[in-house]
Chains A and B, each alone.
Chain A
Amino acid sequence: MTATVARDNQVAARANDVWKVYGSGEAQVMALRGVSVEFERSRFTAIMGPSGSGKSTLMHCLAGLDSVTRGQISIGDTTVTGLGDAGLTRLRRDKVGFIFQQFNLLPTLSARENILLPLAIAGRKPDPAWFDTVIDTVGLRDRLGHRPAQLSGGQQQRVACARALVARPEVIFADEPTGNLDSRAGAEVLNFLRNSVKEHDQTIVMVTHDPAAASYADRVVFLADGQVVTELTGPTPETVLDTMKRLDVLAEADV
C-alpha cells in the first residue's frame, strides 16, 4: 500500500458542495445548500441538528439512497453521484452498511441469517474469525437462532449493527439508531458502535438529535438550515447541548 493511496483512504465519505432541492415553484424546499464535509476513516462521526436541518437528507445522499441536485458525493474512491441503479446496488452491497431507527430486520429469518444476509446477497463467504468477533462484540451468541419477533428491541438493533458490520463496509451509516430504544439499550448499542470503531477500525457516520448519543462520537458535525454550521471534536453531552443551544446564533452569524 503506497503512501498516496493511504492518504486518499483517509477519507471514507465526502460531500462536495452538495445541494438538495425538493419540489419546485412555491413549494420548493432547499434541504441542503452547498454542504461540503468529509468523514475520515476509522472515526465515529455524528451529524446533529434540529428537525428540518437536513441531517437525514445529507446522510441519505451520502449513502446513495437519495440523489443530489448539485454537487458530488464519493464513498472511498467511488463517485456516487451519477451511478445508475445497478451501480448503486453494488455500492450498497460492497461499501456501505446501514443501521436504521426501525431495526428493519426480516421477520422470516433468524438472527444469524439476518446478520449474514448482505453477504449472502453479494454471494460472499463470511470470514469466520470476523463473524465471531462481531457476534461477541454485540453479545448475541446465544440468540443467533432466534427470530426477530423473539428478541427485545435492543437485541434487534444489535443484530442490525452486526449485519452492518459483518460485511466490513467502507462506511456504516446509522440513522437515529437509538431512537426507538430505552436509554440502557441505547447506551449498549452506542458503546458497541464506539468499540467497533476503536478496536476494529470501522467508520461510522451517525445521524442523531440526542446530545447524549452524539457524545459517544469522536466528532460532531452540526447542521442548520441545510448548511454545516460548526463542528466539535471530542464532545461531551454538555458541550453538544451547549452548541445546539447556540446553533441559531451561529447559523445567523454564518449567513
Chain B
Amino acid sequence: MLRATLKSLLARKLRLVLSGLAVVLGVMFVSGAFVLTDTLGRSFDAVFSTAYSEVDVAVSAKPKVAVSEFEGEQVAANFPASTVDKIRSVPGVATATGVISADGARVIGTNGKVVTSFGPPQLGGNWTGDDELVELRSGRGPTRDDEIAVNATVAEAAKIKVGDRVGVLTLAPKREFTLVGVFGYSGGRDSLGGVQEVMFTEPVAQQLMLGEKGVYNSVVVRSADGVAATALRDDIARALGDQYVVKTGEQLSDEASAGLKEGLAFFNNILLGFAGVALFVGIFLILNTFSIIVAQRTRELALMRAVGGSRRQIIGAVLVEAVVIGLIAALLGLGAGVGVGALLAYVFGQFGGGLELAPIGVPVAAVVSAFVVGVLVTVVAATLPALRASRIPPIAAMQDVATPDRPLTRLTVAGAAVAAVGGALLALGLSGNAGDNTLWTILGGVLVSFVGVALLTPLISKPVVALLGRIFSWSVPGKLGRLNSGRNPRRTAITAAALMVGIALVTGVTVILNSAKSSLTALAEETIQAELVISGAQTGPRLPSFDPAVLDRAAALPGVRVVAGLYGDMAMVGGERTYVTATSDVSALRGIYKATPTSGSIDRIGPRQLLVDAKTARERGVAVGSTLLVQLTRGEQQTYTVTGIYAESDLFGGFVVPVEAARDFAVPQPNLGYLQLDPGTPVDRVLPQVEALLADSPEVSVADRASFIEQQTGQFDQLLLMIQVLLALAILIAVLGIVNTLALSVLERTRELGLLRAIGLGRGATMWMVTVEAVVISVFGALLGVAVGTGLGAAVVRALRDQGITNLVLPWSQAAVFLVLAALVGGIAAVLPAIRAARLNVLGAIAHE
C-alpha cells in the first residue's frame, strides 16, 4: 500500500511541488526567524564580551526615573568624584576609573546632516586613553576642551577626518570641536556592535553628556590579582549602599546581550507573522490539491476498496502522501530559511552599523519547528480530502459515475455557524471585554471568520461567478471559460478563498490605517492652531530636539505673534511614572491647543507648580491646591502644587511642569515648536527666516501646518506599505493556488479539450478559455476579499471610536486597484495551464481516460 502511494506521488511531481510551495514558504519564514535570532544573538554575545573585556566590576547609580524600553531612554543618575575615591579604597580594587558614557552625542556630518543610528546608541564620553580594548587608528586623544576623538564608524558615516571642525549635538545645542583622533577596537573592529562613540575631555563630557560638573555616571573597576570579580562586586556594593548598581563585567555583557536579543523578538514576530499568513493560505492550497487528486483518482481508490482495502488504508494512503509532501517541503523550507536568516542577519549587520556577524548557525529549534510545522500543516490540510476518499464506494470502480454535485446545504450551514463564531469572537475582542487576551481573541476571530466565509464561498460563488462571467460571454471561448469556472463550486470557492484571505487582510488594514490617518488629520487640523511647526523625524529612542534659543529668536521675527516650544520626558509624579510636558509659553496652550481651564488658572505656571488635565486629575484624585512629589530624570525630588486643571483633548494631556524644570529632563531641549503668526502675515515669508534660525539644529525643520500634519500622519502610509508588502506574499501563494487549480482542471478535462480542438477550437481560443476561467476565479476572490476586508476593517474602526478614530474611510480606489490587479494576476496564473491546454495532442486527448 505504501509503495503504491509513493509511486502515485512520484507520478504527479509538478502539482505536488506547486501545493508544497506554500508550505516551503511558511517553513522558510519560521526557520529563517530562528536562524536570524540565533546568529544575531551569538554576534551580540561576542560583541559585548569584547566590550566588557576590560571591566571586572562596573558601578552606576540607580536611575531616578525607571523607564521601560518603549517609553524612552533610561538615564542613570550622576554621582560625584568622591564615589570613585570610595570605590578605590575598597580592598581588592586595583584601579577604579570614573567614566562618563551617555547616549545622545550626535555628530553632524560634512553634508550638514546629523549622523543617525537605527538602534545602537550614540555614546558620548570622556577619553580615558587607549588600552587593550580601545586602539587609536590616527591622531591622539582629546586634551583640550575643543577637541574630540570619534570611533571609526562615526568617522566613516560623517565623512570626517582628523583636523576637521566637527559639530556635535549633546544635551547642549550644537558645539564645534576639532577632530584630533579616530579610534577602533581590538580585533580591528570599527565599532562594537554598531555603537557610535564620541570622546571629549572629562570636564566637557561631564557638562555636555551629564549636564553637571565634576560628576560621573559609571566607574570601571579592575580587580587586584587573585581577587574574584564576584567577591569584589559584593564588597563594593556593601561599601556603597543601595543607591548604586554594582555588577561584574560578565553580568553586564550578558545583560546587554539579553537586552538586544529581546529587541530581536520584534523581528522574530514579523517573520512568524509572514509564516503564519503563508501557512494559513497554504492550507487552502493543499486542501484543494488533495481534493482534486482524490476526485481524479476515484476509480483507482474504488478499485483498492473493491480488492479489499479498508477505509483506514485509504485514509492512510492519502495521509502518507501528505506526510511525504510535508517532509520534503519542510526540508526545502529549512534550506531556504537558513538562506533568508543569513541574508537578514547580513542586512541587519550592515544597517546596524557594521555588526560583526558570528558564523551562521542552524539551531535545533529551527530544524524541529520546520518539520513540525511543515508536516502538521500538510496533514491537517489533507485530512478532509482523505476522509472524502475513504467514503468512495467500491462500486465506483465499475461505473463511470460522474460524482454528482453534492448539495451545499450542510456546507452552508457549517459555514454560517463558523462565521457566526468568528464574528462573535471578533465582537468580544473588539468590545474590549476579553481582557489580556484581546489580541488573541481578535486574531482568532479573524481566522475563524475567514474559515467561515471560505465555507460559505461555494454558495456565494454560483451567482457571483455567473454574473462576473457575463463580462466575458461575448465570445464562445469566454463563455466556455465562464461555464468551467462555475462547474465545481467547491473548487472555485476554495481557490478564490485563498486569494480572499490575502486581499481581505490588505483591505482591512488599509481601512483601519486610512481611517486612523484621516481621523488624526481631522483632529490635528481642528486642534493645532499654529501656522508654522518646528519638528523632526524620530530615528531612534530619542526625540529630535533643537536649541531653545531658536524660540526667542523666532519670537522676535516680524509677523510672529506667539512662539511655544514643547519639552517632554518621563517623570515620577506622586509615585507614579508618567509623561510630563513643559512649554516655554504656558499661556500659548490656550491658543495653540485650544486648552480650556476647568479650575484654577492655566495662563501661568510658577516654580514647583503643576497643571494637569481634568481626566488625569479625576483618576489621581487631585484638585487645585493638591501637592505631589515630582522626581525628574535629573535633580532632587521636590514637592509641586497643582495650580490649574484644563479640559483634556486627544492631542494634549497630562501634567505640565514649568519650563525651568525642563533643565532636568533627559533631553533638556524642546522637541516641538509652534508659531502663531499675526493675522495677514504670509506664511511663505516667515518660513525661510525660521529655517535660517535652525541652521545649527539639523535634527529638526520647520513646516507649515498642513505639511506638519502630513509628516506626522505619513507614518501611517509607511506602515501601510510595509503591511501591503508583507501580505503580497499571501496573495502570491493564492496565485500559486490558481495555477494549481487550473493545471489540474486542464488535466481533468483533457478529453473535453481534445474534443473542442477536434471540432475546430483554435489554440488562441483555447488559451483564452482557460484565461477567462482564471480571471473569473481571481476576480471573484478579490471581490470577496474586498468585501470581507472592508467589513473587518470597519468593525475595528468602529471599535476604536473611543480611541479617537472617528472617520471611517473606505478604500474605493484601492478596491478598484485590487480588482484590476486580481484580473491581471488571474491572467498571469493562467499562462502555464493555458499553454498546456493549447499544446494538447488532439488525438491523445480524445483517447484520454
A binding-site residues for B, Cβ under 8 Å = 60, 65-66, 85-86, 89-90, 92-94, 97-98, 100, 102, 104-109, 117-118, 120-123, 149, 163
Contacts A98-B758, A102-B751; A121 near B843 (Cβ below 8 A): no
| B843 contacts A104, C-beta separation under 8 Å | no
Contact of A85 among B404, B477, B756, B763 (CB under 8 A): B763
| A90 contacts B760, C-beta separation under 8 Å | yes
Residues on the A chain within 8 Å of B487, using CB:
107-108
Distance in angstroms between the alpha carbons of A165 and B652 in the assembled complex: 84
Contact of B843 among A66, A86, A149 (CB under 8 A): A66
Cβ distance B24 to chain A, nearest Cβ, rounded Å: 35
14 residue pairs from A and B, CB less than 8 Å apart: A85-B762, A85-B763, A86-B763, A92-B760, A100-B755, A102-B846, A105-B755, A106-B752, A108-B483, A109-B480, A109-B483, A121-B476, A121-B760, A122-B760
| A98 contacts B484, C-beta separation under 8 Å | no
Distance in angstroms between the alpha carbons of A108 and B773 in the assembled complex: 13
Q: Mark B717-745, 1 if CB is under 8 A from A, else 0.
A: 00000000000000000000000000000
Residues on the A chain within 8 Å of B763, using CB:
85-86, 89
Cβ distance B507 to chain A, nearest Cβ, rounded Å: 32
| B755 contacts A89, C-beta separation under 8 Å | no
User: Is B761 an interface residue, CB under 8 A from the partner?
Assistant: yes
| B755 contacts A106, C-beta separation under 8 Å | yes
| B761 contacts A121, C-beta separation under 8 Å | yes
Besides the known contacts A92-B759, A106-B755, 8 further A-B residue pairs in the complex with CB atoms under 8 A apart: A65-B846, A98-B755, A100-B755, A104-B751, A104-B846, A117-B476, A117-B756, A149-B404
Contacts A60-B843, A66-B843, A121-B765; A108 near B480 (Cβ below 8 A): yes
Residues on the B chain within 8 Å of A90, using CB:
760
| A65 contacts B752, C-beta separation under 8 Å | no
Contacts A109-B483, A149-B402; A163 near B476 (Cβ below 8 A): no
| B759 contacts A118, C-beta separation under 8 Å | yes
| B484 contacts A163, C-beta separation under 8 Å | no
Distance in angstroms between the alpha carbons of A163 and B759 in the assembled complex: 9
Residues on the B chain within 8 Å of A93, using CB:
759-760
| A89 contacts B762, C-beta separation under 8 Å | yes
| A92 contacts B484, C-beta separation under 8 Å | no
Distance in angstroms between the alpha carbons of A86 and B762 in the assembled complex: 7
Distance in angstroms between the alpha carbons of A231 and B411 in the assembled complex: 61
Chain B: number of interface residues, binned into ranges: 20 to 34
In the complex formed, the residue of B with least CB distance to A88 is B842
User: Is B757 an interface residue, CB under 8 A from the partner?
Assistant: yes
Cβ distance B472 to chain A, nearest Cβ, rounded Å: 14
Distance in angstroms between the alpha carbons of A90 and B763 in the assembled complex: 11
| A121 contacts B751, C-beta separation under 8 Å | no
Contacts A65-B843, A104-B846, A121-B765; A94 near B760 (Cβ below 8 A): yes
In the complex formed, the residue of B with least CB distance to A94 is B760
Contacts A109-B483, A149-B402; A98 near B759 (Cβ below 8 A): yes
Residues on the A chain within 8 Å of B404, using CB:
149
| B846 contacts A118, C-beta separation under 8 Å | no
| B760 contacts A107, C-beta separation under 8 Å | no
Cβ distance B481 to chain A, nearest Cβ, rounded Å: 10
In the complex formed, the residue of A with least CB distance to B849 is A102
Distance in angstroms between the alpha carbons of A66 and B758 in the assembled complex: 11
Cβ distance A109 to chain B, nearest Cβ, rounded Å: 7
Distance in angstroms between the alpha carbons of A149 and B842 in the assembled complex: 24
Cβ distance B342 to chain A, nearest Cβ, rounded Å: 49
Cβ distance B835 to chain A, nearest Cβ, rounded Å: 13
| Interface positions of B from 754 to 793, Cβ below 8 Å from A | 754-763, 765
| B402 contacts A107, C-beta separation under 8 Å | yes
Residues on the A chain within 8 Å of B754, using CB:
104
Distance in angstroms between the alpha carbons of A141 and B820 in the assembled complex: 43
| A106 contacts B480, C-beta separation under 8 Å | yes
| B755 contacts A118, C-beta separation under 8 Å | no
Distance in angstroms between the alpha carbons of A105 and B758 in the assembled complex: 12
Residues on the B chain within 8 Å of A121, using CB:
476-477, 756, 759-761, 765
10 A-B pairs with least C-beta separation: A93-B760, A108-B483, A104-B755, A120-B476, A65-B843, A118-B759, A89-B762, A92-B760, A121-B760, A121-B761
In the complex formed, the residue of B with least CB distance to A122 is B760
Residues on the B chain within 8 Å of A89, using CB:
757, 760-763
Distance in angstroms between the alpha carbons of A98 and B845 in the assembled complex: 14
| B755 contacts A65, C-beta separation under 8 Å | no
In the complex formed, the residue of B with least CB distance to A148 is B402
Cβ distance A18 to chain B, nearest Cβ, rounded Å: 16
Contacts A104-B755, A121-B476; A65 near B842 (Cβ below 8 A): yes
Which interface residue of A89, A117, A118, A122 has the most chain B CB atoms within 10 A? A89
Q: Mark B473-485, 1 if CB is under 8 A from A, else 0.
A: 0001100100110
Contacts A66-B843, A100-B755; A108 near B761 (Cβ below 8 A): no
Distance in angstroms between the alpha carbons of A117 and B483 in the assembled complex: 14
